[in-house]
Amino acid sequence: MYKSQKLALVVDDSKMQCKLLSVLLQEENYRVIVANDGASGVEMYSEHQPDLVLMDINMPKMGGVEATQFISDYHDNVKVLALTMHSSEKYISEMIKVGALGYVLKDAGEEELKKAIQSVAEGIKYYSNEVSVTLIHALMNKDTSKSSTLSDRELEVLKYISLGNTCKE
């Protein structure tokens, strides 16, 4: 049975990273287009409307946060997976706020990256274990005099997800 190809946009200033991601995405049945900076990524997204975007953060002309914000502002149902070396809470929070559905570090293994791609492509949020731990630590270290936006049960579930458990578990 023929499986129709989807289109993925890789936005990264590293040509080697783009090449490696292209091979991986082609194995997952994607046609791939590449942009080497955020501004070109925004243009290519508007022109081609890909099914999935893999977005780096630090790039020339326009960074990934700004590019994701721009794309999300003008297009509905954008599926962006942040793929970056930045593990700080600041970057993670910024990408989530501007509409990224997932966040994975560049040192992730192939299987984790495939899982992230599949999840985000289906519209399901995906955060690598390291990213989840960073978010939990940030939540736990917030000023306790402010009211939390998450209930105790939600924090508990988030903790177990960060440890690698499934939602059902």
Tokens encoding 149 = 């936006």
Token pair 């287009």 is found at: 33
Query: For residues 55-83, b (16+ Cβ closer than 10 Å) or e, as one string?
Result: bbbebeebbbbbbbbbbbeeeeebbbbbb
130-147 pLDDT per residue, tens: 887 777 777 777 654 444
How far, in Å, CA of 154 to CA of 158, rounded?
6
Residue closest to 113 by CA, chosen among 13, 28, 41, 39: 28
Q: What does the pLDDT average to over 1-16?
A: 84
In angstroms, rounded to a whole number, what is the distance separating the alpha carbons of residues 36 and 90?
A: 23
Q: Which residue has the higher pLDDT, 66 or 163?
A: 66
Q: Out of 63-72, 115-124, 126-135, 136-145, which region has the weakest mean confidence (pLDDT)?
A: 136-145
- For the chain, the C-alpha Rg in angstroms (whole number) is 16
